[in-house]
């Protein structure tokens, strides 16, 4: 199975328009398909390192638009489609994250190996704010895929084995950075709001 998967990825990399395949895979993974696009992105970046950053942008665009499609599926399908596609434990975990972090939970999910479609479809099902959902999706997916693209652009095949081997650890590091970033933005925003209220009261 693994050998066939890699053979399929190598065939796509050798095709005339691999960027379209990458876009389609990223779109599908964010809404209904189980295979993450990172493997194809890394392979394309190794084959054509001079286009790796472009591939990162293509992957980001496909994933963000696919996330919007997943949101739409959840919005109109509601909880029944969530329970049909995913087990109740996953749905309950996603709902708890959305209850706690609102649409920013999408940003955390976009950096991790957690199936992204659970969050995109869940975002629509739970009627999360769509604008914040899209901003979080763009920030997290863009950060993830552009980091991979930039590394491949500068280091090419030398970074391939490292990305494959340490992908889960890198994902955890990205989550920590992402959560720290959201925490800073949240607290800076609260402080600015308090200062503005204090100035108005003077």
Position 181 confidence tier, pLDDT thresholds 50, 70, 90: very low
Q: Does 148 have pLDDT greater than 70? A: yes
Q: 151: domain range?
A: 2-201
Helices (H) and strands (E) in the chain, counts: 10, 0
Question: pLDDT confidence of 186, banded at 50, 70, 90?
Answer: very low
- pLDDT, mean of residues 145-151: 90
Residue 145 has what pLDDT?
Answer: 92
Rounded to the nearest 10°, the torsion over CA 70, 71, 74, 75 is -150
Structural tokens at position 7: 């053979």
Is the per-residue pLDDT at 120 higher than 60?
yes
Residues 99-108, mean pLDDT to the nearest whole number = 76
With a cut of 70, say whether residue 165 has pLDDT above it: no
Calpha distance 57→38 (Å, rounded): 12
Burial (CB count within 10 angstroms: exposed 0-12, middle 13-18, buried 19+), residue 98: buried
Nearest by Cα to 117 from 109, 108, 107: 109
**Is the pLDDT at 25 greater than 80, yes or no?**
yes
Whether this model's pTM surpasses 0.75:
no
Per-residue pLDDT at 42 exceeds 60: yes
Q: How many domains does the chain have?
A: 1
């Amino acid at each position: 199975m693994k050998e066939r998967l890699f053979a399929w990825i190598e065939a796509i990399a050798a095709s005339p328009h691999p960027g379209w395949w990458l876009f389609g895979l990223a779109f599908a993974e964010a809404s209904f398909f189980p295979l993450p696009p990172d493997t194809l992105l890394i392979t394309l970046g190794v084959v054509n390192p001079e286009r790796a950053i472009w591939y990162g942008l293509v992957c980001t665009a496909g994933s963000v638009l696919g996330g919007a499609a997943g949101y739409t599926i959840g919005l109109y399908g509601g909880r029944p489609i969530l329970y049909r596609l995913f087990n109740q434990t996953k749905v309950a975990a996603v709902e708890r994250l959305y209850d706690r972090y609102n649409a920013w939970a999408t940003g955390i999910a976009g950096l991790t190996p957690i199936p992204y479609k659970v969050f995109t479809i869940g975002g629509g099902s739970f009627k999360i704010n769509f604008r914040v959902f899209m901003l979080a999706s763009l920030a997290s997916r863009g950060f993830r895929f552009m980091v991979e693209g930039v590394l491949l652009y500068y280091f090419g095949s030398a970074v391939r084995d490292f990305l494959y081997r340490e992908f889960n650890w890198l994902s955890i590091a990205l989550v920590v950075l992402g959560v720290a970033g959201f925490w800073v933005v949240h607290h800076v925003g609260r402080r600015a709001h308090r200062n503005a209220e204090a100035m108005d009261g003077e």
